[in-house]
Structure 1
Amino acid sequence: MITRVRSGDQEAYAVLVRRHTAVAYRTAVLLGGGMDAEDVVQVAFVKAYHALGGFRDNSAFRPWLLRIVANETRNAVRASNRRRAATARVSWLGDDDLLVPDPLTEALSSERRAQLLDAVRDLPEAQRLAVTCRYFLELDEEETATVLGWPRGTVKSRLHRALRRLRTQLEGSTHPMPKEGAGHDR
């Protein structure tokens, strides 16, 4: 498919976009893109198209694309935070008016799931990214490493620390936490 796109077949790229839009959107939302997730995904697909010349033929497209989505999401979140901080400094609005509800949080119906997501959000960024890719996006360790641009060992150690921290935070809950090593590629 990539070869067809490189040779100018735009329909081939449209097929790739259709195949990967849902997971790209989920990635953007889960990594904090919120209301900007659709824009992030569009920018990521445009950047991916222009970067196909550097795509290695023996690589998987999905993790490569999700790495671009992850980078674009981080950029969008940083830009949003800067805008929000600037607005807060000069705005006459009250604090309550500046809070924008996160669509993902609103969509969650289970109180326990909300507690788990809150705990995941409280993780340090590197641990949160590892947990999001591995468990919410159901990527294996190798794909997670590719998406985040980290060595596989770094993914493993950050997942280990994140799961230990989440267990401690959610101790005594009825929500089952993944066991260390369970579901992991070794």
Structure 2
Amino acid sequence: METDKLAQLKSGDPALFAELVRDHHRALIALTVPIVGISEAEEVVQNAWLKAYQAIGSFAGKSAIRTWLGSIAINEAKMQRRQRKRELLFSDHGDENQNTKDGLAQRFTERGHWQHPPAHWHMDSPESLLTGEQLAECLERLLTAMPDNQRCILEMRDASGLSFEEICNALTVSASNARVLLHRARTQLFKLVDHYEETGEC
């Protein structure tokens, strides 16, 4: 991003910030879906945009603006996940899915949503922002390296919320093929997030 444009953005220029939202909103949705699921990703990203707008003046420009935004969105998703876990602990109702087998087939609902987003996030560390930034970079690299058909269906389904019928019509693929490609893409994302949580590496 050009220096003068960045300076305008940091000064709180609403038009430039709106442009930022248009350019990166879908990417942030895709980054947060593996953590909170498609049903909560939109709310999480909206909250992340609010925090980004409030903090844009402190953006030092040491990393790409997309990476900085990704770290905010991921940390917001992790906070949302932790809050949901806390609510479940104090809920009187048990989770009917807790006794299901831990397999890839059980990671998604029949409608294609995440069944159990990655858990055990650690948000109390002062390095949480850096951790979110590193994970964002890992996810971006994975999405870039992903086969075009998988990435395209993942973005259409999880970032744009299109139905399988709409996806099939747009890409001229069968529903079964679309589901297989989506499953493969989500599995890669899930494994990366799981691996990062355990090792701190991509």
Range class of TM-score, shorter chain:
0.5 to 0.7
CA contact (8 A) 1:33 1:40 kept: no
State the shift of 1:58 in Å: 4.7
Establish whether residue 45 from structure 1 lines up as the match of residue 49 from structure 2.
yes
CA contact (8 A) 2:37 2:113 kept: no
**What's 1:103 paired with?**
113
State the shift of 1:32 in Å: 3.1
**What's 1:144 paired with?**
none
State the shift of 1:118 in Å: 9.0
In structure 1, the gaps of 5 or more residues are 129-153, 160-186
**Structure 1 residues 109 and 84, CA gap change in structure 2 (3 angstroms):** same
- The ranges of structure 1 where at least 4 consecutive aligned residues each deviate by more than 3 angstroms after the TM superposition are 99-102, 114-119, 121-125
**What's 2:77 paired with?**
73
**What's 1:86 paired with?**
90
State the shift of 1:86 in Å: 2.3
State the shift of 1:2 in Å: 2.7
Equivalent in 86, 99, 113 of residue 184 of structure 2 = 113
Establish whether residue 7 from structure 1 lines up as the match of residue 11 from structure 2.
yes
**Structure 1 residues 94 and 27, CA gap change in structure 2 (3 angstroms):** closer
> What is the count of residue pairs matched by the alignment?
126
State the alpha-carbon separation in 1 of the partners of residues 185 and 61 from structure 2.
40
State the alpha-carbon separation in 1 of the partners of residues 54 and 75 from structure 2.
15
State the alpha-carbon separation in 2 of the partners of residues 6 and 118 from structure 1.
32
State the alpha-carbon separation in 2 of the partners of residues 56 and 75 from structure 1.
24
State the shift of 1:46 in Å: 0.8
In structure 2, the gaps of 5 or more residues are 101-107, 116-156, 158-177
Q: Equivalences for 1:161-176 in 2 at 5 Å?
A: none
State the shift of 1:114 in Å: 7.6
Amino acid aligned to 1:19: D
Amino acid aligned to 2:96: D
CA contact (8 A) 2:12 2:57 kept: no
State the alpha-carbon separation in 1 of the partners of residues 16 and 186 from structure 2.
42
Residue identity (%): 27
CA contact (8 A) 1:25 1:37 kept: yes
State the alpha-carbon separation in 1 of the partners of residues 185 and 9 from structure 2.
41
Could you say which structure has the greater relative contact order, defined with CA pairs below 8 angstroms and 6 or more residues apart? 2
